[in-house]
Chain A
Amino acid sequence: MTDAATAMNADDAIPDPYSIPLDQIRMNQSRLFQNNAHGEYFRRLRKEDPVHYCAESEVGPFWSITKFDDIVKIDSNHKQFSSEPAISIGNPSEDFTTPMFIAMDPPKHDVQRKAANPGVAPARLADLEGLIRERAGKILDGLPIGEEFNWVDRVSIELTTQMLATLFDFPFEDRHLLTQWSDVTTNVDMFVSEEKIQERRASLRECLAYFTRLWHERADQPPKFDFISLMAHNPDTKDMINNPMELLGNLILLIVGGNDTTRNSISAGIVGLNQNPQEYDKLLADPTLIPNMVSEIIRWQTPLAYMRRTAKEDIEFQGKQIKKGDKVVMWYVSGNRDETKIENADELLIDRARARQHMSFGFGIHRCMGNRVGEMQVRILWEEILKRFERIEMVREPIRVNSSFVMGYSEVMVRIMPKDKH
């Protein structure tokens, strides 16, 4: 989804944000996020230059919008701020363009989104709840007790990939392919050389070929609630099969949207509760806090750092002159830390008042479609964890992914404390 390949000078120390002239701050650098150093940079921008212009970067000039209310204004204003041609800072490659509805404006966006939406609507969620609980239980029951292991691989990836397979009605035994396609899409290491770029494209062509077979099968079968059946039977989207790159784009959108986000919210819960042991105590004392905690984890983590818009006309915004065609990046990861909007915004507080009022799902017509299915997975997982284990102890610092877009973890090493021992 992101072409923002900005893995550069990985060995240099991260400078103090106040040691750099304001106009030279470049928030597209993925290593700021990989090193968890972005927070202080955004704090400075929110305070000194909340609508910030970066004139030069690897991906050209762009605006950074860093305050909560400003982001809501732009996110809700799709008439002046377009989602085309891309929602990542980099533009799509001219020879490999994958249109997807998150990066379209009305009316095309609306019909494609509506076609897929029943796959994650409330009626469907009620059907999925029991299945998620059974799977979460099975995954947790298979974990080693008292031994170190990577929570990301054994739990976060496993549960979300199983769920994604269900949402697509994808052959369960091949579900690891979904993880693979999701990862090649977002991993900036796949953009560092021509060879890697070709490898990435080859992988995504396999994805397209696999789903093309599924599409033809589903089109011949009675309609069901998986994403492929929904699109193959909807009059507005049934011809997408004739536009392979657009089909691939929408597949990538639904795969990444349903994978990275929930995966990293599941990992973030372990990281957050271990870094804030008093919050872990609160949770153990009162498990009814789980639904509120889920919203708070999603705010605290902000699994997708930003969405980009492109100005459709010259606009004066908070005293700045945004020109037609300018890239405008709405940093949700900063808005969710806006101290003028959220009290103690840096802290994870599982009993926070109005925890639902975060911006991780975005606002306006592109607001996250799968938010309720994501929340439900994280909630059920924690309900099942509390039934089984006393504590899940993080044994060392987590390893974060190298991306300015996906706020995620590749490794969260843990050890489980069983319920009867301390």
Chain B
Amino acid sequence: MPRVTFIEHDETIHEISADNDATLMEAALDNLVPGIDADCGGQCACATCHIFINDEWATKIPAREETEETMLELAEGVTEFSRLACQIRVNDTLDGLTVQLPEAQH
């Protein structure tokens, strides 16, 4: 099971083991990581699982698709590192991934 580290906006760290093939959103909810609302349940329809994934990992993750781009337009504080956690599936190549959380989901 790949290890993923979620860092809250106040820098609280949550290290979890994610199930292979779970989305980062599901992994966060299953492991009670706060700060991901996931209002639409993972259908890329709400932008309340907004996360940041920095450069070194970005290349190992499939790029944003159009729906994700559109929904991120609604989110607050979006940067080039912004992603929706429901659109990223965990696998062994992501072992050691670090994910940053925004101040709030909107």
Partners in one complex: yes
On A, residues with C-beta under 8 Å from B are: 72, 75-76, 110, 117, 121-123, 125, 354, 356-357, 361, 363-365, 367, 372
- Interface residues in B32-67 by Cβ distance below 8 A to A read 37-41, 43-47, 67
B74 touches A367 (CB 8 A): yes
A184 shortest CB reach to chain B, Å: 30
B43 touches A121 (CB 8 A): no
A372 touches B104 (CB 8 A): yes
Distance, CA A363 to CA B106, complexed state (A): 13
Q: Is B73 an interface residue (CB 8 A)?
A: yes
Distance, CA A361 to CA B39, complexed state (A): 9
What is the interface size of chain B, counting residues whose CB is below 8 A from a CB of the partner? Answer: 20
- Interface residues in B71-90 by Cβ distance below 8 A to A read 71, 73-74, 76
Q: Is B70 an interface residue (CB 8 A)?
A: yes
Given contacts A72-B43, A122-B105, 4 further A-B contacts (CB under 8 A): A110-B73, A361-B39, A363-B40, A367-B45
Once A356-B37, A357-B40 are accepted as A-B contacts, the answer to whether A125 and B104 lie under 8 Å apart by CB is yes
A342 shortest CB reach to chain B, Å: 11
B27 shortest CB reach to chain A, Å: 15
A76 touches B67 (CB 8 A): yes
Which residues of the other chain, A, contact B45 by a CB distance below 8 angstroms?
A: 72, 75-76, 363-364, 367
| B39 to A, closest residue via Cβ | A356
A371 shortest CB reach to chain B, Å: 8
- What are 27 inter-chain pairs, A to B, with CB distance below 8 A? A72-B40, A72-B43, A76-B43, A76-B44, A76-B67, A117-B76, A121-B76, A121-B106, A122-B105, A122-B106, A123-B76, A125-B104, A356-B37, A356-B38, A356-B39, A357-B40, A357-B41, A361-B39, A363-B45, A363-B46, A364-B45, A364-B71, A365-B74, A367-B45, A367-B47, A367-B74, A372-B104
Which residues of the other chain, A, contact B39 by a CB distance below 8 angstroms?
A: 356-357, 361
A122 touches B37 (CB 8 A): no
On B, residues with C-beta under 8 Å from A are: 37-41, 43-47, 67, 70-71, 73-74, 76, 103-106
A365 touches B106 (CB 8 A): no
Which residues of the other chain, B, contact A121 by a CB distance below 8 angstroms?
A: 76, 106
Distance, CA A117 to CA B106, complexed state (A): 10
Which residues of the other chain, B, contact A123 by a CB distance below 8 angstroms?
A: 76, 103
| A358 to B, closest residue via Cβ | B39
Distance, CA A72 to CA B40, complexed state (A): 9
* Chain A to chain B: the 9 pairs with minimum beta-carbon distance, closest first: A122-B104, A363-B45, A357-B41, A76-B45, A356-B39, A121-B76, A122-B106, A363-B40, A72-B43
Distance, CA A110 to CA B44, complexed state (A): 18
| A113 to B, closest residue via Cβ | B74
- Pick from B38, B43, B71, B103: contact of A122, CB below 8 A: B103
Distance, CA A401 to CA B3, complexed state (A): 53
Distance, CA A123 to CA B106, complexed state (A): 10
A122 touches B44 (CB 8 A): no
Distance, CA A123 to CA B105, complexed state (A): 11
Which residues of the other chain, B, contact A76 by a CB distance below 8 angstroms?
A: 43-45, 67
Which residues of the other chain, A, contact B104 by a CB distance below 8 angstroms?
A: 122, 125, 372
Looking at B38, B41, B47, which has the most chain A CB atoms within 10 Å of its CB? B41
B74 touches A363 (CB 8 A): no
Which residues of the other chain, B, contact A75 by a CB distance below 8 angstroms?
A: 45
| B70 to A, closest residue via Cβ | A365
A163 shortest CB reach to chain B, Å: 17
B36 shortest CB reach to chain A, Å: 10
Distance, CA A123 to CA B76, complexed state (A): 9
Distance, CA A117 to CA B103, complexed state (A): 16
Distance, CA A357 to CA B43, complexed state (A): 11
